[in-house]
């Protein structure tokens, strides 16, 4: 694990641009903005900024980049990078996060050792207020996300330079900084922790299946969570069997690697009894062949990321424990491989869950919901009052929502909406999907309580209906991240590969407990 441990520090610099002691100064530039706004910067570049804008070489469109030297020797920075921020009127925290990531990646490619990113919130809200602390957090998260390098196994990769020293520059360009320095420092620390934790989840999801076995996943999960201050318990195959987790054991049967269940706890001493307990459950399939219902060979190598939901839970627990979330949180991650061995489950087999419900296996590639069912039962047994599960569960969700939006399923509507809002604040876009009772007919079995798949039509919904059977009567949300856990094409703010989706959403939910404490 490297992103957090190898990271340089991030600091705040409240002062003029000319005094920012960095090699490369990143300045967000809004569309149709006049160079007069940065007159001193324009002079420092010998008029190159105004020339580029007037000739339309640089127009401030989203993620446009213009680089020029600073020739004024009274300035400490040696180069400036203008990064297009789009229209100021619609520029929000998520835009700032993405812009900072794109700028951070560009800075690494230019081998800068010390990088400063100028904080520029968009237009004030209708009350005239500017959420400066929120923008500090978002920019810090974005710069930190730029530190991730998916090429950890390459022996001669030089596409990215070393991780630079980072500074968030609170310039004197706008007199909009009413927040105290302590509040801004806290926002920077929070953004740094959430960005690091997201990168750690990306590292886990990027690990190949031969190195990240279920036992190794459990070991790393324990290391990461305890580093953050959470408590960890690892259940081995004997303990899993004693609990009667027949769904998890059924999936694990085809593999030579034994399963594990990672149980994580954040239990602040000052939280009174009787208050909510948030339960987070993540799918931890460390490699998914599909089992006997084997997947096509093309693209199967991607199935190393089928534990991205489990990684999100582990790294969210690290973050929320470090940040002192004011709520008790329990995380449960069932970890196993899904392999087509001689002892593997077969279509038509019947499995009995820890809750006692029986499942007819129609397709062994619908294994994630099986292991989540036992894990959700166990989270309830441990006393959680509100439940969120997160999983790379169905290709059907990708068909429905594409690869930029996670699907949300659950009940009641108020709980689903709270999770959606948390995901929006965190920059993990999600969208609610229907969960009508009629869909339960898709899982009807002649010989068991229900089947493990309802076919292609409404496939993401029938998978959520299956999970609903194990949520009891708790407020519950299922996040299907099959389309968002991995980026198959590079964007300015997201290299190809693991995205770390869900980490910030789950942490945000725990940190903002006051917004949903009365949801039942």
Active site residue 295: yes
Residues of the chain with pLDDT under 50: 1-5, 173-174
β-pair type (486-487, 79-86): unpaired
Work out the burial of residue 34: count CB atoms within 10 Å of its CB; fewer than 13 is exposed, 13-18 middle, 19 or more buried. Answer: exposed
Q: In what order do the strands lie in the sheet with 358-360?
A: 350-352, 358-360, 450-451
Give the count of beta carbons closer than 10 Å to the beta carbon of residue 165. Answer: 17
CATH 3.40.630.10 region(s) of the chain? 207-515
Instruction: Print the SS3 string covering 359-374.
Output: EECCCCCCCHHHHHHH
Residue with tokens 């953004």: 191
Burial class (CB in 10 A: 0-12, 13-18, 19+), 317: buried
* CA distances (Å), origin 460, targets 395, 399, 435, 463, 465: 8, 9, 10, 5, 9
Integer Cα distance of 145 and 457 in angstroms: 37
Note the pTM of the prediction, 2 decimals. 0.95
- CATH 3.40.220.10 in the chain: give the residue spans: 10-198
Q: Quote the pLDDT of residue 174.
A: 46
Q: How far apart are CA 123 and CA 33, in angstroms?
A: 13
pLDDT tens-digit readout, 74-119: 999 999 999 999 999 899 999 999 999 999 998 888 889 999 999 9
Active-site pick, 79, 295, 357, 421:
295
> Is residue 357 among the annotated active site residues?
no
CB neighbours of residue 417 within 10 Å: 16
- What pLDDT is attached to residue 46? 97
Query: 207-515 is classed in which CATH architecture?
Result: 3-Layer(aba) Sandwich (3.40)
Rounded-to-integer distance, Cα 211 and Cα 337, Å: 12
Q: Are 134 and 194 a contacting pair, CB within 8 Å?
A: no
Strand partners, 480: 391, 407
| pLDDT given for residue 123 in this prediction | 67
Catalytic residue of the set 220, 253, 322, 369 = 369
How would you classify the pairing of strands 114-118 and 260-266?
unpaired
CA angle 247, 249, 252 (to 5 degrees): 115
Q: Say whether 160 sits in a helix, a strand or coil.
A: coil
Tell me the two tokens of residue 7.
């990271």
3-state per-residue secondary structure call for 327-361: CEEEEEEEEEEECCCCCCCCCCCEEECCCCCEEEC
Question: Contact, 330 vs 382, CB < 8 A?
Answer: yes
**Position of tokens 């990271």?**
7
SS3 430: strand
Instruction: Report whether 303 contacts 340 (CB < 8 A).
Output: no
What does the pLDDT read at residue 131? Answer: 83
Closest CA to 323 of 421, 195, 205, 133: 195
pLDDT of res. 173: 41
Q: What is the Cα–Cα distance from 269 to 277, expressed in whole angstroms?
A: 13
Which residues are bridge partners to 282 per DSSP? 390
Predicted confidence at residue 378, as pLDDT, reads 98
Supply 510's token pair: 């725990």
Phi, psi of 231 (to 5 degrees): -95, 145
| Residues 389 and 467: beta-carbon distance below 8 Å | yes
Domain covering 10-198, topology: 3.40.220
From the list 206, 209, 286, the residue with the least C-alpha distance to 251 is 286
Euclidean distance between CA atoms 395 and 405, whole angstroms: 13
Return d(Cα 308, Cα 498) in angstroms, integer.
Answer: 8
Distance CA 229, CA 322 (A): 6
């Amino acid at each position: 694990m490297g992103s957090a441990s190898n990271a340089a520090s991030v600091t705040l610099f409240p002062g003029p641009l000319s005094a920012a002691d960095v090699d490369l100064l990143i300045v967000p530039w809004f569309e149709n903005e006049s160079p007069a706004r940065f007159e001193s910067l324009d002079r420092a570049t010998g008029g190159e900024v105004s020339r580029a804008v007037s000739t339309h070489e640089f127009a401030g469109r989203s993620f446009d980049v213009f680089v020029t030297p600073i020739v004024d020797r009274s300035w400490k920075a040696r180069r400036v990078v203008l990064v297009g921020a789009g229209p100021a009127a619609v520029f929000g925290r998520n835009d700032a996060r993405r812009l900072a990531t794109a700028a951070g990646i560009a800075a690494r490619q230019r081998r800068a050792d010390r990088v400063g990113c100028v904080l520029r919130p968009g237009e004030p809200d209708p009350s005239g207020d500017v959420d400066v602390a929120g923008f500090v957090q978002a920019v810090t998260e974005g710069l930190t996300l730029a530190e991730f390098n998916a090429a950890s196994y390459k022996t001669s990769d030089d596409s990215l330079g070393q991780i630079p020293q980072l500074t968030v520059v609170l310039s004197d360009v706008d007199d909009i900084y009413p927040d105290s320095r302590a509040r801004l420092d806290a926002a920077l620390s929070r953004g740094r922790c959430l960005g690091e934790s997201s990168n750690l989840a990306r590292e886990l999801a990027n690990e190949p299946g031969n190195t990240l076995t279920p036992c190794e996943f459990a070991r790393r999960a324990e290391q990461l969570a305890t580093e953050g201050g959470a408590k960890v318990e690892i259940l081995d195959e004997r303990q899993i069997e004693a609990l009667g987790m027949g769904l998890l054991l059924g999936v694990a049967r085809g593999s030579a690697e034994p399963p594990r269940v990672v149980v994580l706890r954040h239990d602040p001493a000052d939280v009174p009894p009787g208050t909510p307990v948030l339960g987070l459950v993540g799918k931890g399939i460390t490699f998914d062949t599909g089992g006997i219902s084997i997947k096509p060979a093309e693209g199967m190598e991607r199935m190393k990321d089928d534990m991205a939901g489990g990684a999100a839970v582990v790294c969210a627990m690290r973050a929320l424990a470090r940040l002192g979330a004011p709520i008790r949180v329990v995380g449960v991650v069932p970890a196993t491989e899904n392999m087509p061995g001689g002892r593997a489950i077969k279509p038509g087999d019947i499995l009995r869950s820890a809750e006692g419900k029986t499942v007819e296996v129609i397709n062994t590639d619908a294994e994630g919901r099986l292991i989540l069912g036992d894990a959700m039962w166990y989270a309830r047994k441990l006393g959680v009052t509100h439940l969120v599960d997160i999983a790379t569960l169905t290709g059907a969700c990708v068909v429905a929502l594409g690869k930029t939006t996670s699907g949300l399923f659950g009940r009641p509507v108020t709980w689903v909406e709270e999770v959606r809002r948390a995901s929006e604040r965190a920059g993990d876009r999600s969208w609610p999907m229907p969960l009508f009772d009629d869909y339960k007919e898709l899982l009807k079995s002649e010989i068991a309580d229900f089947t493990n798949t309802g076919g292609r039509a409404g496939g993401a919904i029938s998978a959520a209906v299956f999970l609903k059977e194990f949520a009891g009567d708790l407020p519950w949300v299922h996040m299907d991240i099959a389309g968002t856990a991995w980026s198959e094409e590079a964007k300015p703010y997201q290299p190809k590969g693991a995205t770390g989706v869900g980490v910030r959403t789950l942490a945000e939910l725990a940190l903002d407990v006051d917004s949903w404490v009365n949801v039942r």
